[in-house]
Amino acid sequence: DGGITQSPKYLFRKEGQNVTLSCEQNLNHDAMYWYRQDPGQGLRLIYYSQIVNDFQKGDIAEGYSVSREKKESFPLTVTSAQKNPTAFYLCASSPLPRTFPGGGSSTEAFFGQGTRLTVV
């Protein structure tokens, strides 16, 4: 089945440790994203990548790093520099935008099941 797989589902980390969250997709999507969700808040963008070997910072990139060596994979590392890492992390991917009859183009993002990271 096609989809986006995140692992692990739950992750516990001691303060001062780096951890890496996995995200793999077999949808042949070009773009991939990492979002963070905190209680009572919407999703906030950490990093995104529109093509292999290229990625850009989102709104809250500090304390995080990513790589995009393969089209299918976009791992996120939460470093010890991230001051408040406990959160729910969602990975997403999107296909190439499609053009609409009235002009313009857009696409939707498809999400994985998420990883809940807790710092202990």
Partner 1 sequence: EDKVVQSPLSLVVHEGDTVTLNCSYEVTNFRSLLWYKQEKKAPTFLFMLTSSGIEKKSGRLSSILDKKELFSILNITATQTGDSAVYLCAAPSGGTSYGKLTFGQGTILTVHP
Question: Looking at beta carbons only, is 75 or 110 nearer to partner 1?
Answer: 110
Per residue, the 3-state secondary structure of the chain, as one string, reads CCCEEEECCEEEECCCCCEEEEEEECCCCCEEEEEEECCCCCEEEEEEEEECCEEEECCCCCCEEECCCECCECCEEECCCCCCCCEEEEEEEECCCEECCCCCEECCCEECCCEEEEEC
Instruction: Report how far residue 42's alpha carbon sits from residue 81's, in angstroms, rounded to the nearest whole number.
Output: 23
Question: What's the closest the beta carbon of residue 22 comes to partner 1, in angstroms?
Answer: 15
Question: What's the closest the beta carbon of residue 85 comes to partner 1, in angstroms?
Answer: 19
Question: Looking at beta carbons only, is 21 or 92 nearer to partner 1?
Answer: 92
Question: What's the closest the beta carbon of residue 102 comes to partner 1, in angstroms?
Answer: 6
Question: What's the closest the beta carbon of residue 29 comes to partner 1, in angstroms?
Answer: 9
| Residues at the interface with partner 1 (CB under 8 A) | 4, 31, 33, 35, 40-45, 48, 50, 58, 90, 92-94, 97, 100, 102, 104-114
